[in-house]
Structure 1
């Protein structure tokens, strides 16, 4: 973590000098694909606020986002995000305070995210598909002051508001907000007084009288307040992204302006090495949820930096919606996880599309299956270019060159100004071709976990490398292949799922005596949770447990398979032997 301006410049300059003096193996690949090995970091007093405002000015005539038949220009994104920023400042929020966003991929999201950033506040992404019980920890731990929420999701959090002492206000967003005449044209002043509109706030949910405001009213509520550009630095926290981390319960990775800007520049190096000046008005398919760090960084922050257009898909589970969007607005880049690629390939209507505009297909979040990749290249004419990252790294750590001819089945090479080592259990670097844990150092690596200083210390090595929990092998050209996971995490459609969470929930079923969860292979999702259950009721059925999981866990976490056992395999000290269960499934 860089604590001041001197540390930021001196540390990364020294880091660059060290790599120059002793080039790592991936520099050979950099040279082959003309990838610059470094990025030019901005001054210490630069922030995402500056980056956004520069882009708004530069690209004001372009379309920033498309959602169904609605569009949002960069000029509108500028004006509307400034309204959000002004409103939040008018409510007395100060630099760094947390604001939650619980929305799918609607036009609201980029407007609100940019508004929060421009107000000098910290964005907290919240998965809108979470069930009631899954929201408890994140809402309490994040200490959000304001929450932007889709009206259809109100019931999901109604029971929790009384238990959130920090929460002051909920701002309700509706599908119809951007159909209003206010958002169909350049926003004009509205002659309604600030004081009058404040009276429209009403008590909402429970005893604490949480204030409720409509998103469509924010301009009226803040029109007498003058926006003040905040003085943010590269070290200020701008995003808290919840993740399973490398162990246990979800943790809030605190990402700074510098972390995200560095990762934008690192990804941009990859783009420029492949396309140089052939980047203008490109369309990015944005079917991955923007509350996921992969989509947030590329389909929101990088997109705005480059002046691209995001093709928003609010509900990617409806594959036909994606296909229709692609047909009407052929994208230059398709970002996805294996689940998405596989789902599209199953549709004849997708295979018949025109892919002549497609420059690259980028995979992340989970391992891309070779069969999916080979079929994708046959159908679209472009290979899937796989990358790797973590919420803790803003998120990209490694990538495959975009002009690579075929799917490599590897996660690629480290991004510029990033060092990746493969280490043994004693944190000593292993030889090329040997397996070990992947550890990372770079300007994109998080400041730490929110409220968890000890866990933050534990996740870093003695020499400042972030431990990933993934086991990998590096070859002579710097390409890395992930071969295993250090922990028992299950990776479902790019989302981290921890067995302990599933087990805790499923053991609350009155007929479950014991339960253990593991991940089993899935063509569609990469992995799916399977539970092994010892039941106290001989009449308990698989469907009973699947239904219970569906009620208490969000879609990607709930068990998809159930096996009943009389006893679970255990060690002499009573520890469940997951390895034995994996062997039973032919996985070990």
Structure 2
């Protein structure tokens, strides 16, 4: 197909990428280890992990996995925030030939159980803060090996102080018992003794299962091959080249405020930083804006990928003015729509344009992005990435004329291999000619810029995280006092959108307080209903299907606008 957007590419950005220089993500990492052994790779809470140490420690972790009998394609779940243990466990798992299963550390027991059972993970690496959650569900999963780590495990001498504060002052570690678990340091030491045998994964081997609710709200693991993630890493490198080449071979520092278990951060803060020999500054808790500003003030940040709500929260903080962005080369908003007011404010405060990207877990994730040479906010999600075809199609699957609206369909090396153990769901989203049907509605302008005009029909986007109404409704409906429920998204100044539920009581005595407590036990914080409205009845179609759109319109709640 034709790619008219190529005419708008900045100088130096190629129309296509070449994967021939790397055999896998592991090969990519090992090339960097060999090129920059003396460089720092990741830093967190004052401790730094160099590339030479990352090489050695990831090999130790790979050796430990192999010593436990894990084979090629065994699944290893990582339930970690942005701490130094994450890149070690990530790369170590891949070097052992295993498949990484990214798990949100804030998951409830129900959510964790669902993901562990579906993935068939045999091993999990978990921060002790969340071990009590795992304890509740472990017996019902296939997990046989548990590695428990603490915030201080890789922080050197001050690690003991950090752990004391986390455990006894801030009381962030609920009591837990996991018989037979292994400590992080013990696992690395055992792996060093056992030795590591290179598994040499190939491009078409599975690297990561990245879970997404999909359009149905049922958790599905997007199968991301080494090829997919490597391709998107190289695409990102090519796209950012006009900005990053200004470093002239010097190290690029990336602020990794987004969690690495989120696909946007995994690619642009994790794999891309490693590929270019960069330094990623890991932020364990970006909600602590004061702490984030303190960390950012210590580094001349060159790349800052984040979501709209984080940029907004930063600028709202009184200490924001302390930050020096004179070295900033690129700030990329992804995961949710970048609001024009935030983009304009960012440009005024920092002197740097906030560019916007669009993507999906199923596309590793980046599909398109505003050129980094942009001089102003455009309102679009930019141009398709190198080696990427984007087709706007009508309901019958035919491509629509340029400028007309239709479903955004994507084909490229970054598109997933399918959904884990769900060929039926894969068939629903893949076309006969190899395009992924995103479910997002968009159009191209005359210059090849992609403009999103609507999102998947009922998807709610809270601070860059997908929230699926079916999941919320299933949880609320399980309360014995609830007769019917519908969940919709409403505008929210802080999180972009928030969840609102409409409930028809079965028990007249059911209160909002009761329902909130019930939800809090079963849903991660960002999925919790912000607003609860009790109704006598809910609008339905003639076959009895609840009309969520009617509820949004009834309340004069504008339908959500799509984001990257």
What is the TM-score of this pair, normalised by structure 1?
0.89
The answer (yes or no) to whether the contact 2:293–2:320 under 8 Å persists in 1 is yes
Aligned equivalents of 1:383, 1:548: Cα separation in 2 = 43
The answer (yes or no) to whether the contact 1:387–1:399 under 8 Å persists in 2 is yes
Aligned equivalents of 2:392, 2:200: Cα separation in 1 = 39
Which runs of at least 4 in structure 1 moved beyond 3 Å after TM superposition? Answer: 179-184, 536-544
- Secondary structure of the residue aligned to 2:87 is helix
- Secondary structure of the residue aligned to 2:14 is coil
1:527-573 deviation digits (Å, cap 9, x = unpaired): 11101111244554434433332222101111001112111111222
Q: Residue 75 of structure 1 is aligned with which of 39, 43, 52?
A: 52
Residue 174 of structure 1 aligns with which residue? 150
Q: Residue 31 of structure 2 is aligned with which of 48, 54, 58?
A: 54
Aligned equivalents of 1:359, 1:321: Cα separation in 2 = 23
Q: Please provide the CA RMSD for this pair.
A: 1.9
Equivalent runs, 1:302-381 vs 2, <5 Å: 302-381=272-351
Equivalent runs, 1:158-197 vs 2, <5 Å: 158-164=135-141, 166-180=142-156
- Secondary structure of the residue aligned to 2:18 is coil
Quick check: 1:138 aligned with 2:107?
A: no
Q: In the TM superposition, what is the alpha-carbon distance from 1:152 to its structure 2 partner?
A: 1.6
Residue 195 of structure 1 aligns with which residue? none
Aligned equivalents of 2:5, 2:188: Cα separation in 1 = 50
1:338-369 deviation digits (Å, cap 9, x = unpaired): 11111111112013422111111110001111
Aligned equivalents of 1:237, 1:554: Cα separation in 2 = 28
Quick check: 1:36 aligned with 2:14?
A: yes
Mark the CA change 1:409 to 1:351 in structure 2 (over 3 Å): closer, same or farther.
farther
Quick check: 1:483 aligned with 2:453?
A: yes
Residue 534 of structure 2 aligns with which residue? 564
Residue 265 of structure 2 aligns with which residue? 295
The answer (yes or no) to whether the contact 1:245–1:392 under 8 Å persists in 2 is no
Aligned equivalents of 1:437, 1:428: Cα separation in 2 = 10
Q: Residue 388 of structure 2 is aligned with which of 402, 413, 418?
A: 418
1:54-85 deviation digits (Å, cap 9, x = unpaired): 10111111111111111111111111111111
Aligned equivalents of 2:506, 2:217: Cα separation in 1 = 28
Q: In the TM superposition, what is the alpha-carbon distance from 1:181 to its structure 2 partner?
A: 6.6
- Secondary structure of the residue aligned to 1:340 is helix
Q: In the TM superposition, what is the alpha-carbon distance from 1:376 to its structure 2 partner?
A: 1.1
- Secondary structure of the residue aligned to 1:176 is coil
Equivalent runs, 1:115-126 vs 2, <5 Å: 115-126=92-103
Quick check: 1:448 aligned with 2:418?
A: yes
Q: In the TM superposition, what is the alpha-carbon distance from 1:574 to its structure 2 partner?
A: 1.4
Residue 239 of structure 1 aligns with which residue? 208
The answer (yes or no) to whether the contact 1:247–1:487 under 8 Å persists in 2 is no
Deviates more, 1:396-405 or 1:34-43: 34-43
The answer (yes or no) to whether the contact 2:228–2:364 under 8 Å persists in 1 is yes
Runs of 5+ consecutive residues of structure 2 not aligned to the other structure: 161-175, 560-564
The answer (yes or no) to whether the contact 2:95–2:200 under 8 Å persists in 1 is no
The answer (yes or no) to whether the contact 1:283–1:309 under 8 Å persists in 2 is yes
The answer (yes or no) to whether the contact 1:25–1:476 under 8 Å persists in 2 is no
Quick check: 1:542 aligned with 2:512?
A: yes
Aligned equivalents of 2:399, 2:180: Cα separation in 1 = 54
The answer (yes or no) to whether the contact 2:102–2:261 under 8 Å persists in 1 is yes
Runs of 5+ consecutive residues of structure 1 not aligned to the other structure: 1-18, 185-202
- Secondary structure of the residue aligned to 1:78 is helix
Number of corresponding residues: 542
- Secondary structure of the residue aligned to 1:334 is strand
The answer (yes or no) to whether the contact 1:33–1:401 under 8 Å persists in 2 is no
- Secondary structure of the residue aligned to 2:266 is helix
- Secondary structure of the residue aligned to 1:568 is coil
Mark the CA change 1:144 to 1:511 in structure 2 (over 3 Å): closer, same or farther.
same
Aligned equivalents of 2:474, 2:428: Cα separation in 1 = 24
1:493-540 deviation digits (Å, cap 9, x = unpaired): 111111111111112233322110000111221111101111244554
Q: In the TM superposition, what is the alpha-carbon distance from 1:438 to its structure 2 partner?
A: 0.4
Aligned equivalents of 1:168, 1:228: Cα separation in 2 = 22
The answer (yes or no) to whether the contact 1:437–1:486 under 8 Å persists in 2 is no
Aligned equivalents of 2:98, 2:445: Cα separation in 1 = 42
Aligned equivalents of 2:474, 2:214: Cα separation in 1 = 18
The answer (yes or no) to whether the contact 2:38–2:51 under 8 Å persists in 1 is yes
The answer (yes or no) to whether the contact 1:168–1:211 under 8 Å persists in 2 is no
Aligned equivalents of 2:480, 2:424: Cα separation in 1 = 36
- Secondary structure of the residue aligned to 1:560 is strand
Equivalent runs, 1:221-232 vs 2, <5 Å: 221-232=190-201
Mark the CA change 1:25 to 1:247 in structure 2 (over 3 Å): closer, same or farther.
farther
Mark the CA change 1:300 to 1:270 in structure 2 (over 3 Å): closer, same or farther.
same
What is the TM-score of this pair, normalised by structure 2?
0.93
The answer (yes or no) to whether the contact 1:332–1:360 under 8 Å persists in 2 is yes
Q: In the TM superposition, what is the alpha-carbon distance from 1:220 to its structure 2 partner?
A: 2.9
Residue 562 of structure 2 aligns with which residue? none
1:70-117 deviation digits (Å, cap 9, x = unpaired): 111111111111111111112221111111100011111011111111
